[in-house]
Structure 1
Amino acid sequence: MTKYVLAPDSFKESMTAKEVCDAMEIGIRKVEEDAEIIKVPMADGGEGTVDSLVDATSGKKIVVEVTGPLGNKVKAYYGLLGDGKTAVIEMAKASGLEIVPKDKRNPLITTTYGTGELIKDALDNQVKEIIIGLGGSSTNDGGSGMAQALGAHLLNQNNQEIPWGGGNLDKLVKIDVSNLDPRLKNVKIIIASDVTNPLIGPEGASNVFGPQKGASPEMVKQLESNLNKYAQIIKRDLNKDIAQKSGAGAAGGLGAGLMAFTTCEMHQGVEIAIQVTQLDEKIKTADYVFTGEGGTDFQTKFGKTPYGVAKLGKKYHKPVISLAGYLGKGIDSLYSEGFTAIFGILPGACSLEEALEDGPVNVSRTMENIVRLLKF
């Protein structure tokens, strides 16, 4: 009996990682009905991380009403993994760019307060570990809103709380953490992010990511200046020098905020997923490993899910076959990294809408053809 380990990421806007696994299984079963199939939905810290890790560990989603990026109430959710002790949060669920209308995107006013509320709710569920994915942010507030939601006081010259948003950090005079949620000291916080940018400077949060969130050149200068002041006050009041830390600029400086107000660790998202799903142990005994993502190109080797899976396959000398909605430039460089073969799933020319809608069918058909060849 052949043992297949299926460890794909989601195909964005088409299928969740679990749905990709299910489509892969359909293709395999058409050729080999009695195959042993181990399904391990994966993620790399970005969109789909909560869904993938909840599915992979038989956990559950917890829906919470939180403060959205613009201060309005939004419905968000996070995951409680199967162990009941680990929460997985995507900051984008509460503070993401996709939940802000394009004509209202303004990183001077958007806040991470809702992300802090998700963390607080996870603490209320008595978790021992919180994994936080930092992709897809609409904010540039250095995680100040998150800190305020967790009890930190960011005070102006009149000893009053400064308003939310990166545009108000110039009013900051003092940080008081005497009322910061004490449970944070007893919880392990892991940041899932592949972003290595510092908080400030030419490669910092404002200069690199600000324009993507609606910042004009003038706004970028203001945000940069404000984050610089914020970093100086953190250094003075909290004795933490976070301005140039690798990853501090992730999610508009939420990385820096977590470094300043919690004792956190930063890891590549795919490494966390591999650990949580115990993929290492599963691949050891596999005959074939299948992975995949919406699009594969030279960027895949910079921490994307298929790359992490391929590295494990290479470690145990297992063939790793990857599927993708489209194949871009530079995939030749992936073959030396543990990929045995990479297949595009599209049957021919089609619109983007058709490609997204027909994703499951295309994955199943491609899998069937690959397995027919393997069995032959």
Structure 2
Amino acid sequence: MPTAEQRHRSLRVAIVPDSFKGSASASEVAEAMAAGVRDAASSSGVGLEIRTLPFADGGEGTLDALLGAWGTDARTTATTDALGRPTTARYGVSPDGTSAIVEAAEANGLPRVSDVPLQPLAASTHGVGVLARAVLDAGCTDVLLCIGGSATTDGGTGMLRALGVRFLAADGTELPDGGGHLRDLATLDTSGLDPRAAAARWRIACDVTNPLVGERGAAAVFGPQKGATPADVEVLDAGLSRLADVLADHTGVEVRDLPGAGAAGGMPAALTALLGAEIAPGGLLVADTLGLPALLDGVDLVLTGEGRLDSQSFGGKVVDTVRGLTPPAVPVVVVAGSVQVDAATLADAGITAAFSIANGPQELSEMSTGAVAAVTATTTQVVRLLLAR
């Protein structure tokens, strides 16, 4: 039993790391940090309260991070890739069965179609809609949709088709899938929209502010990454422009210049207009879903980390989100694979200190193999230093 003095001397630590991509999952990093904290405090006479939360910023790895935090297993369903070919995709459901996490790239991601030439005009989000149906079938009413890494530029129309919306030409025929046909869009038929989709809460993790159309729009900025030629970009931009007009006529919602509507080939556009989807920075949405503000309440120290800490880390990534939600007086320490920012940048970002796990010059492969053990060792040294105060 600790003495009264030891109970008074307690350390409450929140551990909220991202994954070290290619080396360790967010859950593995969190466990390694917790082991380091326990090692450091084992002979100090200090009482410990450790709160761990594997985290992600709404991009790649968010599904795995939420599954780790929820303690649930991924579910799978049959769907199609961006070119309509059969595939399977994963999704996650919260322990209470009400919330779901969907990574769109599980269905429409670029890696899924890397075995064939890219087809930017035909690529469709229909498979994401099939994945969304599986989530609704599971009884979820709150869906966090992570949209990065897409191979599509169809404004989210394929996903809405799978949920029952029809996109019609002037002669009443239904348009084929893909953004290349949206120039011929005349009207919508939403009478078949799945009522569960209409009633659900949809939140879209989005860390860009690009509008739907124009020189900063979905086609112009992101289309070339998906195989679009300059001529394709013109076709896709014209189609998205037409989609914006028809959505405005049908719903009264203007999406043409909506910040973030151009993300993932314009996927937020139709979802915002037809489902009332909310667009927000991914880190904040994940924080809200997992209850990060409550976890940070009353702690004495926050440990976070990622594979590489650089200038991009402070633009809505995990470290930035964690620092922004931590009370100003609480120190935030980063443990990273590599640290590529100087002390002044760290101070400006509100980071107390950052430490690399590298033990002298090392090859990336060597660091990856020993990443978990190195995270524990580095965390031990960090906490010993803090306890020495």
Structure 1 length normalisation: TM-score?
0.94
Residues 1:26 and 2:35 are matched in the alignment: yes
Report the 3-state secondary structure (helix = DSSP H, G, I; strand = E; otherwise coil) of the residue aligned with 1:293.
coil
Report what 1:195 is aligned to: 208
Instruction: Tell me if structure 2 keeps the 8 A contact 1:120–1:150.
Output: yes
Letter in 2 for 1:4: V
RMSD: 1.8
| 1:216-244 CA-partner distances (Å, limit 9, x unpaired) | 22222221122112222222233322111
Q: 2:263, 2:343 → 1: CA distance?
A: 27
Question: 1 CA distance for matches of 2:154 and 2:251?
Answer: 17
Letter in 1 for 2:365: E
Residue 249 of structure 1: aligned partner: 262
Residues 203/102 of structure 1: CA separation in 2 closer, same or farther (3 Å cut): farther
Tell me how many residue pairs correspond in the alignment.
375
Cα offset, 1:116, TM superposition: 0.8
Q: Give the counterpart of 1:297 among 290, 310, 314.
A: 310
Q: CA deviation at 1:154?
A: 1.1
- 2:191 match: secondary structure: coil
Per-residue deviation, residues 306-340 of structure 1 (Å, max 9, x unmatched): 11111222x25111001222223567333233210
Q: Is the 8 A contact 1:9 1:305 kept in 2?
A: yes
Paired residue secondary structure (1:4):
strand
Aligned to 1:2: 11
* Partner-residue secondary structure (3-state), 2:223: helix
Alpha-carbon offset, residue 294 of structure 1: 1.8
Verify the 8 A CA contact 2:218 2:262 in the aligned structure 1. Answer: yes
Q: Which deviates the most, 182-191 or 323-332?
A: 323-332
Which of 37, 50, 55 does residue 50 from structure 2 map onto? 37
Q: Distance in 2 between matches of 1:263 and 1:84?
A: 22
Other-structure match for 1:12: 21
Q: Is the 8 A contact 1:63 1:77 kept in 2?
A: yes
Q: Alpha-carbon deviation of 1:356?
A: 2.7
Match of 1:327? 339
| Cα contact 1:10–1:17 (8 A) shared by 2 | yes
Match for 2:370 among 347, 358, 367? Answer: 358
- The structural deviation recorded for 1:146 is 0.4
Partner of 1:67: 80
The corresponding residue for 2:6 is none
1:26–1:366 distance in 2 versus 1, CA, 3 Å: same
Structure 1 pair 340–102 and aligned structure 2 pair: CA distance change class (3 A): farther
**Cα distance in 2 for residues equivalent to 1:223 and 1:147:** 18
Per-residue CA deviations over 1:25-63 (Å, capped at 9, x if unaligned) read: 222233223733211111111111122122223334221
How far apart in 2 are the matches of 1:330 and 1:209?
A: 31
Q: TM-score normalized by structure 2?
A: 0.91
For 1:183 and 1:283, locate their aligned partners in 2 and report how far apart those are by CA, in whole Å: 34
Q: Is the 8 A contact 2:18 2:306 kept in 1?
A: yes
Query: In structure 1, what is the equivalent of residue 91 of structure 2?
Result: 78
Counterpart AA for 2:129 = G
- Paired AA for residue 234 in structure 1: L
> Which amino acid in the other structure matches residue 19 of structure 1?
E
| 8 Å contact kept, 2:247–2:270 | no
Question: By how many angstroms is 1:357 displaced?
Answer: 2.8
Deviations 1:252-277 (A, max 9, x none): 10011211221111221111222222
8 A Cα contact 1:298 1:331, kept in partner: no
Show the counterpart of 2:348. 336
Aligned counterpart, 1:307: 320
2:380 alignment partner, one of 358, 368, 371: 368
Deviation at 1:82, TM superposition (A): 2.0
Structure with greater Cα Rg? 2
Q: Does 1:49 align with 2:58?
A: no
Paired residue for 2:7? none
Moved more, 43-52 or 353-362: 353-362
Displacement of 1:152 in angstroms is 0.6
Instruction: Tell me the secondary structure at the aligned position of residue 30 of structure 1.
Output: helix
267 and 331 in structure 1: CA distance in 2 versus 1, 3 angstrom threshold: farther
Instruction: Read off the aligned partner of 2:51 and give its amino acid letter.
Output: I
User: How does 1:222-301 map onto structure 2 within 5 Å?
Assistant: 222-301=235-314
Structure 2 distance, partners of 1:72, 1:331, is: 50
Unaligned runs of 5+ in 1: none
Q: Hey, what does 1:139 align to over in structure 2?
A: 152
Contact kept in structure 2, 1:11 and 1:294, CA below 8 Å: yes
SS in 2 for 1:79: strand
Q: What one-letter code is carried by the residue in structure 2 that aligns with 1:306?
A: V
Deviates more, 1:239-248 or 1:102-111: 102-111
Deviation at 1:147, TM superposition (A): 0.8
How far the C-alpha of 1:183 sits from its partner, in A, is 1.5
Alpha-carbon displacement from aligned partner over 1:168-215 (angstroms, at most 9, x marks no partner): 222323221111111123211111111111100111111111111222
Q: Is the 2:268–2:277 contact (alpha carbons within 8 Å) kept by the matching residues of 1? A: no
Aligned with 1:318 (options 292, 306, 330)? 330
Instruction: Give the C-alpha shift of residue 102 in structure 1.
Output: 6.0
**Structure 2: gaps (5+ residues):** 1-9
- Give SS of 2:361's match: coil
Distance 2:372 2:251 in 1: 50
Matched-pair contact (CA < 8 Å) for 1:41–1:56: yes
